[in-house]
């Protein structure tokens, strides 16, 4: 053969190259046409991930399954432990970053192994091909493998390497209904995928190869063997010590169960999330679990259908740390699906601290202002106390610490209900009233409705210098604050709630006061709601106990059922000692006097029947409220004999006289004064020659009924009528029936009184000298 025959002419070479290129182009066009014929990449499964609700540290509170019933917890590449990602690429697809979706070398190796060994040794699939199979399952045939390869090429054209890797870590099968590294890490290992050990990373890498056969909760030995095989493959990339330590770790998988903390809050936030897959909250998972355990621990002591709710708020940030809307979410008998943190309920006496705080700001009272805890009628409204007893003369501090009803109504009457409710609303606490109803005196005893959420937000004002706030559930939520009270009023009320009375004694022991928990209870009418709300320097905690359907629970009240749970919550969540606090500049202390209520003046010591140490706001000591029953000034004058000191008048004595100024107790309180105070409060006896005047020491006596008498109705529905007279007085007297002024006339006139209501009736008669008599009768 000639040399010319062995050489290809330039023209022929060019023709061969063009033909080869044409064949390649046709082949590529064919492949491209086939890829196009496959249609678009199926995105449905790729895009649908589980919605998760997490706490402030990213710990899982509650996941929600996809519409297919799968648990695919969203994970980001930058949120997964780097060891897992490095191991995944090293073990599954070393050339992932460089190949176009298909690794020819791996496919060739797999084919050679199949021919030589006559069985599948390795599949030759890249991570991109595995993603293609995840998104569009194909049969394990040559046609199926070919379609998978083409889908992988299609994926590489559409997505970046990181996007493909993200699809894999979110969708890789991990056994059962679990898919993705985050779901497997939390379900099997009890931790997020960002905190994996070497052993954890190896286990989660190998699981997708045989997710059913290698489930660590069912087949721990097989899972360990597969894990160790992966670890051994990392020799040379990881240190021998790390691999040895990882191989020593046992396979201990949790029992698969759905995480379920703060379920009602999760439901609430999910509804308002706008479809977000990850819902961040301010909840502290440990605090949440503590509160839920405390509630569960008390379930056995509660009757059926009784539920509980608790809310814990950080005072500094207003972030909610724990939220339990019911006692047990899965207990339908106790209405566990009803969120009682948000439910509108009667607040009972929990509004009283705000009433006294507003009265302080209005200049109506100081901490030791004199109030009358006696039967009284306020335009027909006759409140009673929870214990059905009365204490007589009490201070504001005593009325608040004992949660007395009559003094609270007396203060609200002076402040006005509309003004009180409007101030609460401006501070962020909205009260609900029945349709067409207006605020009235009953509001301070629970005659309105609000929620635990609003009450706790309002109570934060006592730890935040009078500024209340809206509880925050999302760290990105704005800070919503409103002024509820002045800093001084908030300090005084918190101090009264903590100390249970005037705290001047503690102040004198040192420059600062050791503080604990300021708390208030409440019980709604008919024992339907039991409340206890407490404030420390760090936390505000609210507890509610009751039946969501509003059925009464006799014997259930705030102090005996809700407060023990409140105390346990503080002991568990807030063990930090309280810091000493000093009163703000607007708060001072001063000695004040009863009955006038004003500052003690040594020059008028005779007007001070009882001395008390009080907190004053803005250096103001408001006087005792004007007498509701007896007109005239609280100060009055009379004359005494200059030598004997006994009482006289110009008509009965010509001896030298002098005037004496005295202080008069409110008429409603005079019958309730002890003997020592009554002696101080009464004028002296009449001098000789002034006989005929009523003697202060002489008593009045009611005639017509005896104390403790039981009166029976003559006929059903017919009210008995009694006729009462008074002995020991000829001048004017005051008749009071259940604290309401029934008559003011001469003692010579009888009182004709109907007793329409069954039960106890208190009837009192008194005169201007402070003398009185009282009988209590019962109508049956």
Which residues carry out catalysis?
Answer: 92, 349
Tally Cβ neighbours within 10 Å of residue 629: 18
Candidates 742, 712, 729; CA nearest to 773 is 729
CA distance 764 to 599: 31
Tell the residue number behind the tokens 């991109």, with chain if given: 128
554 SS3 class = coil
Answer whether 408's CB lies under 8 Å from 352's CB: yes
Answer whether 124's CB lies under 8 Å from 111's CB: yes
CA distance 643 to 638: 15
Q: In the 8-state DSSP scheme, what is residue 96?
A: T
Q: In the 8-state DSSP scheme, what is residue 253?
A: P
**Edge-first strand listing for the sheet containing 307-314:** 320-324, 307-314, 539-546, 529-535, 518-523
Tokens of 412: 């609200």
Q: Which helix (H) or strand (E) holds 777?
A: strand 772-779
CA distance 253 to 88: 21
Phi, psi of 580 (to 5 degrees): -60, 140
Give start and end residues of each alpha helix (H) in 299-381: 352-361
Question: Do strands 740-746 and 392-395 pair parallel, antiparallel, or not at all (unpaired)?
Answer: unpaired
Sign of the torsion formed by the C-alpha atoms of 544, 545, 549 and 555: negative
Tally Cβ neighbours within 10 Å of residue 70: 19
CA distance 574 to 539: 7
Three-state secondary structure along 31-93?
Answer: HHHHHHHCCCCCCHHHHCCCEEEECCCCCEEEEECCCCCCEECCCCHHHCCHHHHHHHHHHHC
Answer whether 113's CB lies under 8 Å from 78's CB: no
Sign of the torsion formed by the C-alpha atoms of 120, 125, 129 and 131: positive
CA distance 207 to 205: 6
Beta strands in 681-758 (DSSP E): 701-703, 710-711, 721-727, 732-737, 740-746, 751-754
Candidates 671, 694, 693; CA nearest to 776 is 671
Could you give the maximum distance between any two Cα atoms of the chain, in Å?
172
Answer whether 197's CB lies under 8 Å from 108's CB: no
Tally Cβ neighbours within 10 Å of residue 86: 15
| Burial per residue of 500-524, b for 16 or more beta-carbon CB atoms within 10 angstroms, e otherwise | ebbbbeebeeeeebebebbbbbbbb
Sign of the torsion formed by the C-alpha atoms of 384, 389, 392 and 398: negative
Residue 770's DSSP bridge partners are none
The counts of H helices and E strands in the chain are 22, 27
CA distance 126 to 109: 13
Phi, psi of 265 (to 5 degrees): -65, -40
C-alpha distances (whole Å) from 725 to each of 729, 770, 778 are 10, 18, 19
């Amino acid at each position: 053969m000639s040399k010319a025959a062995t050489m290809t002419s330039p023209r022929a070479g060019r023709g061969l190259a063009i033909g080869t290129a044409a064949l390649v182009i046709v082949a590529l066009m064919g492949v491209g046409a086939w890829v196009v014929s496959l249609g678009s990449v199926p995105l449905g499964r790729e895009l649908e991930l589980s919605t998760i609700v997490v706490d402030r540290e990213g710990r899982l509170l509650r996941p929600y399954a996809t519409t297919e019933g799968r648990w695919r917890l969203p994970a980001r590449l930058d949120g997964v432990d780097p060891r897992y990602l490095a191991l995944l690429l090293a073990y599954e697809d070393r050339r992932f970053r460089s190949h176009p979706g298909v690794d020819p070398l791996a496919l060739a190796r797999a084919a050679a192994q199949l021919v030589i060994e006559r069985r599948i040794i390795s599949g030759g699939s890249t991570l991109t091909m595995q993603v293609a199979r995840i998104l569009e399952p194909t049969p394990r045939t040559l046609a199926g493998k070919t379609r998978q390869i083409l889908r992988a090429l299609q994926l590489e054209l559409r997505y970046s390497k990181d996007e493909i890797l993200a699809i894999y870590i979110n969708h890789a099968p991990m056994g059962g209904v679990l898919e993705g590294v985050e779901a497997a890490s939390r379900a099997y290992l009890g931790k997020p995928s960002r905190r994996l050990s070497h052993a954890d990373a190896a286990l989660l890498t190998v699981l997708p190869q045989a997710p059913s056969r290698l489930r660590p909760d069912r087949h721990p030995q097989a899972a360990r063997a597969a894990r160790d095989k992966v670890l051994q493959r990392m020799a040379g990339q990881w240190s021998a010590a790390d691999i040895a330590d990882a191989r020593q770790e046992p396979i201990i998988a949790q029992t698969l169960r759905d995480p379920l903390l703060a379920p009602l809050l999760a439901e609430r936030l999910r509804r308002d999330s706008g479809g977000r897959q990850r819902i961040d909250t301010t909840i502290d998972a440990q605090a949440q679990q503590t509160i839920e355990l405390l509630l569960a621990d008390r379930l056995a002591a509660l009757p059926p259908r009784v539920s509980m709710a608790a809310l814990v708020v950080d005072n500094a940030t207003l972030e909610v740390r724990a939220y339990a809307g019911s006692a047990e979410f899965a207990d339908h008998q106790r209405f566990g699906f009803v969120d009682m943190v948000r439910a509108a309920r009667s607040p009972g006496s929990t509004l009283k601290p705000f009433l006294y705080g507003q009265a302080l700001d209005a200049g109506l009272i100081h901490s030791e202002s004199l109030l009358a805890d006696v039967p009284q009628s306020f335009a027909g409204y006759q409140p009673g106390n929870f214990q059905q007893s009365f204490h007589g003369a009490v201070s504001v501090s005593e009325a608040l610490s004992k949660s007395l009803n009559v003094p609270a109504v007396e203060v609200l009457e002076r402040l006005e209900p509309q003004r009180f409710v409007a101030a609460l609303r401006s501070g962020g606490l909205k009260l609900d009233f029945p349709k067409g109803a207006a605020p009235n005196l009953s509001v301070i005893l629970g005659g309105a409705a609000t929620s635990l959420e609003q009450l706790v937000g309002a109570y934060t004002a006592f730890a935040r210098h009078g500024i209340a706030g809206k509880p925050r559930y999302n760290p990105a939520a704005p800070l919503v604050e409103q002024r509820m009270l002045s800093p001084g009023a908030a300090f005084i009320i918190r101090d009264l709630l903590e100390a249970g009375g005037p705290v001047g004694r503690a102040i004198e022991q040192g420059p600062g006061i050791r503080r604990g928990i300021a708390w208030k209870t409440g019980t709604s009418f008919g024992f339907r709601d039991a409340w206890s709300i407490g404030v420390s320097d760090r936390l505000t905690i609210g507890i509610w106990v009751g039946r969501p359907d509003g059925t009464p629970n006799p014997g259930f009240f705030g102090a005996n059922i809700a407060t023990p749970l409140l105390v346990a919550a503080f002991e568990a969540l807030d063990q930090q000692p309280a810091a000493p606090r000093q009163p703000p500049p607007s708060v001072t202390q001063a000695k004040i006097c009863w009955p006038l209520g004003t500052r003690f003046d040594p020059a008028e010591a005779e007007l001070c029947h009882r001395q008390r140490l009080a907190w004053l706001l803005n250096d103001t000591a408001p006087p005792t409220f004007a007498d509701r029953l007896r007109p005239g000034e609280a100060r009055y004058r009379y004359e005494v004999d200059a030598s004997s000191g006994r009482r006289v008048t110009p008509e009965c004595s010509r001896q030298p006289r002098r005037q004496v100024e005295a202080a008069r107790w409110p008429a409603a309180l005079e019958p309730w004064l002890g003997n020592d105070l009554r002696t101080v409060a009464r004028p002296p006896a009449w001098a000789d020659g002034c006989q005929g005047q009523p003697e202060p020491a002489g008593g009045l006596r009611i005639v017509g009924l005896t104390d403790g008498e039981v009166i029976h109705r003559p006929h059903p529905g017919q009210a008995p009528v009694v006729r009462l007279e008074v002995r020991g007085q000829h001048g004017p007297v005051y008749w009071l029936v259940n604290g309401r002024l029934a008559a003011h006339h001469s003692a010579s006139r009888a009182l004709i009184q109907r007793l329409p209501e069954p039960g106890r009736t208190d009837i009192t008669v008194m005169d201007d000298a402070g003398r009185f008599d009282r009988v209590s009768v019962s109508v049956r």
